Chains A and B, each alone.
Chain A
Amino acid sequence: MTLAAGTELATATNEHLANISNTLIYSAMAVYTLAFFAYIAEWLFGSRSRVGRTAAALTPEAKAAAKRPAVTVQQAGGTAVLERPTVVVRSAAGARDVPDGPGAHGGDAQGDLYGRIAVSLTVLAFLVQLSGVIARAASVERAPWGNMYEFNITFSTVAVAVYLTLLALKKNVRWLGLFLITTVLLDLGIAVTVLYTASDQLVPALHSYWLYIHVSTAILCGAVFYVGAVGTVLYLFKDSYETKLENGGKPGTFATSVMERLPASSSLDKFSYRVNAAVFPLWTFTIIAGAIWAESAWGRYWGWDPKETWAFITWVAYACYLHARATAGWKGRKAAYLALIAFGCWLFNYYGVNIFVSGKHSYAGV
């Protein structure tokens, strides 16, 4: 409520801060570009090492061995008593027992070095971009999502934040880097060229603290769904690759070089499932927060406005995906396609509905 009250005073736009913000965003793009090249270098150097783990695991002899309890996981308890019981883990029946690839650097020391440089540059670019977003917010004295330009720069900041958070939590996600940064550059490119809007104030319907909740969680959900979608796409590629190997096929050298360094298809699948499942409740909340806001702004909590409709469609599509994973015959690739369709719905809701369909959710100057 204080936020709304604060913005209610028609504050003069601070041109100076807006210019600083623009400079910061352009600088962030420059640093992301450097990071992009560092990731490329990581993949290039990584290609020198020949890893054939997936192939090896899928040979007939290896498969026979894999039938037995697969991996010994961990030592239980502390080290006080020497001989502690060890837990033996079996993988699911019918699951391929394929080890994860080593990552883009492929075990190559120089590749790894470039990978680390790339991550450092990503952190730097993220900080610069974050400052850009904050400067933008300060220049308009409100949250930075009053129009599509602001939405775009905030969205990619959050997507990178999700990636860096996963890295900080020691999750094995460095393989995401190149794919993520490529699209972040694309997103920022579109933002500064097509979508740029000079700073301005919000229309009165956008003055609500539910808006802050609704839009911030929408952006976060989009960023996380996005990370999940990248995982899903890679899963589909890796799964085809594994299937081909299993059936005795011989994938091309480029495909082999890239795929061997990615995690196993089952790991990628699990990664995207976890990511999607983790934000699905938040997405549900986002829609509800939107309904509460709509109720206070327009007198109805649900009115099938195009934006609402597409949020609903996205929600149902993700529910389909979660159901599919619990339905025999729909697991694996089919569920993955559903996840991609669901993310497609999210993207359409953002770009398509804003640009092609008119509704109550109008942004100032697109």
Chain B
Amino acid sequence: MSTPSKTRSGATPERPDEDLGAAGSQLSTAPKEELPNLPSLGVIGWARWFWRQLTSMRVALLLLLLVSLGAIPGSLIPQSGIDETKVADFRKTHTFVAPIYDRLGLFHVYSSVWFSSIYILLFVSLIGCIIPRTWQFVGQLRGRPPGAPKRLTRLPAYTTWRTETEPEQVREAALKLLKKRRFRAHLAGDAVAAEKGYLREIGNLAFHIALIVMLTAFAWGQLFKSEGNKLVVEGDGFSNTLISYDDFKSGNLFSSDDLVPFSFTLNKFTGTYEATGPNRGTPRIYQAAITYTKGAYGKDQKTLVKVNEPLTIGDSKVYLTAHGYAPVITVRDGKGKVVYNDAVAMLPLDSNVTSTGVVKVLDGYRNAKGVTEQLGVSAFFLPTYTKGNETASTFPALENPVLNLTPYHGDLGIDSGIPQSVYQLDKSHVKEFKDAKGAQLRENLEPGETMKLPNGAGSITYTGTKQWANFQVVQQPGTDWALGAALTAIFGLAASLFIQRRRVWVRATQGPDGVTVVEMAGLGRSESAKLPEELGDLAGILYDQTPGAPESDATDRTGTTDRTGSTTRTSSTDQDPTTPEPEAVPAEGAET
């Protein structure tokens, strides 16, 4: 009973099967796999060939693989866009490979030429794939499901019965039933042709289009992005202009007019820390209370900014990124006149907020002799000072604050025109103060305490402690687009993966004995147990409307087969030695 037919492996999704004719075609819009037949001649021929290759599934697959491979080095090698100091460390310790990495752009993989080419090619391929698929799908929607193939028995799911009902009535009933089941159905010749599950294709197209939108939004965001940092001491304010920032980075197309106008004042920073256990010192409550104003003349609003809860103003978001202490320091000159009174922000050195900073008294100070001088004080600050552990704080909260001061006098070099960090002291033109024993003057102060400068040179008082918070202000347009596209992608994907696109045909013809023969068959894009189930369900309902007629003698109407090879109706008519096996079942697909 074996047939001489040959089974081709790797059935192509789109080739209309000889047996099924148009019926099996266009069940999806996946591109046809073309054999690599090289073009004969000409630039246009080559260009077309290249374009076909680029938009084929095979190349899309390859490019996807390349993207994932290409992303790997960036996760293992330090990236300058993420952590510049790590890159510098790496360069220092790996003197041999670093230049090679530099050459290959491995310190900035995600903006390197080669990585960009891969994903740009992928997205060109994607667009080249989507446009024809969309057109094809629109064509399918405007057309009608293809008519029934000649031999329905060849389809993956098949059933038949005989009935006294007239063929027209059967077809009418079938049409009504299928339409009620939300198939797109129509009458074509002696059969009803129906199709369902277009949402799969829509989902798939929506998913791929959403990917394009997402990438575009991401690229847009990178180009117009801006990101700046500002350290604000409690009681101080910030207004969103370029010059207000401590540091500022922006994308290539950003202009300062794009900055959203707003301002705010830091009222209070609150931090509490785990007191015991293995994570002693880990922040628990960590928040900044601010008063902000939108635009130039907006009204004041109060809010809390926390680590996971930035303040959003238009396109701008204000994040709380760091915090530290700012001891308030009062400096008096020899006559007791206050020449400096300010909170000095100290930069943390470790997780227990041991901090360092500098007080610079630039004008107004006169020494004991009445000569104008500048004062510089280098400061160490320990929020929690513990006896026996004098050089570092032992807890991040203000438990027992101590300020260690080392004053200098002379010329701080501010007027030399060379830019200076506010956190560093240029000691080239200053002199130390000496204590009574002739050693360098250096003292630990608790809040409220004052250190006297020798020989009536004045005094320095540690009045109290404020806190500061660092705010990062980020503006990245297109985020909403990216989010919308991402959500679309999920729903598209779900539709694409969970919905099965399938066709059903119902043929009703008058048999030679005058009894109507009803044949039903189903075809899906993939082999799925759902398809025969659904067909059985439909057949059951239709059967009730067009009840079975008595058996005509020779026919076993169910067409069952047994493995020993005894001939039944289905198998005997089915084994046509001249026709090859159908390839009605292309890709695996929508099954849940």
Contacts and interface: CB of A to CB of B under 8 A. Distances in A.
Contacts of B285: 8, 10
Interface in B538-567: 539-541, 543-544, 547-548, 557-561, 563-565
B536 A331 contact: no
B303 to A, nearest CB: 15
B164 interface: no
Contacts of A81: 543-544, 547-548
A325 B532 contact: no
A326 B30 contact: yes
Given A84-B543, A291-B486, A328-B11, A201 B274 contact: yes
A92 interface: yes
B577 to A, nearest CB: 12
B61 A323 contact: yes
A307 to B, nearest CB: 8
Given A10-B284, A89-B157, A319 B64 contact: yes
A203 B282 contact: yes
B373 interface: no
Contacts of B61: 320, 323-324, 327, 330
Contacts of B141: none
Contacts of B559: 69, 86, 88
Interface string B56-76: 011011001101100110111
Contacts of A186: none
Contacts of B283: 203-204
B176 to A, nearest CB: 18
Interface string A68-85: 111011111110010111
A261 B336 CA distance: 96
Interface in B260-304: 272, 274-275, 277-279, 282-286
Interface residues of B, number: 112
Interface stretch (A38-46, A122-130, A234-242, A310-318): A310-318
Given A208-B308, A301-B482, A320-B68, A94 B7 contact: yes
Interface in B395-452: none
Contact of B286 (A87, A204, A274, A327): A204
Contact of A270 (B68, B520, B591): B591
Interface string B5-25: 101111111000000000000
A91 interface: yes
A350 interface: no
Interface in A182-216: 197-198, 200-201, 203-205, 207-208
A278 B156 contact: no
A86 B561 contact: no
Contacts of B465: none
Contact of A68 (B489, B532, B541, B574): B574
A273 B58 contact: no
Contacts of B574: 68-69
Nearest to A278: B592
Contacts of A92: 11, 156, 527, 585
Given A204-B308, A329-B58, 10 more contacts: A67-B5, A68-B1, A81-B548, A93-B581, A207-B308, A274-B592, A309-B72, A328-B13, A330-B58, A357-B76
Interface of B: 1-3, 5, 7-13, 30, 33, 57-58, 60-61, 64-65, 67-68, 71-72, 74-76, 79, 81-82, 109-110, 153-161, 218, 227, 272, 274-275, 277-279, 282-286, 306-310, 317, 319, 321, 472, 474, 476, 479, 482-483, 486-487, 489-490, 493-494, 497-498, 520, 527, 529, 532-533, 535-537, 539-541, 543-544, 547-548, 557-561, 563-565, 570-571, 574-575, 581-585, 587-589, 591-592
Interface of A: 4, 8-10, 13, 62-65, 67-70, 72-78, 81, 83-95, 197-198, 200-201, 203-205, 207-208, 270, 273-274, 277-278, 280-281, 284-285, 288, 291-293, 295-306, 309-310, 312-313, 316-317, 319-320, 322-331, 345, 353, 357, 364-365
12 contacts: A69-B561, A81-B544, A87-B158, A89-B156, A270-B588, A273-B591, A277-B591, A297-B307, A306-B76, A312-B71, A327-B58, A365-B279
The 5 closest A-B pairs by CB, nearest first: A77-B540, A76-B536, A64-B2, A92-B585, A309-B75
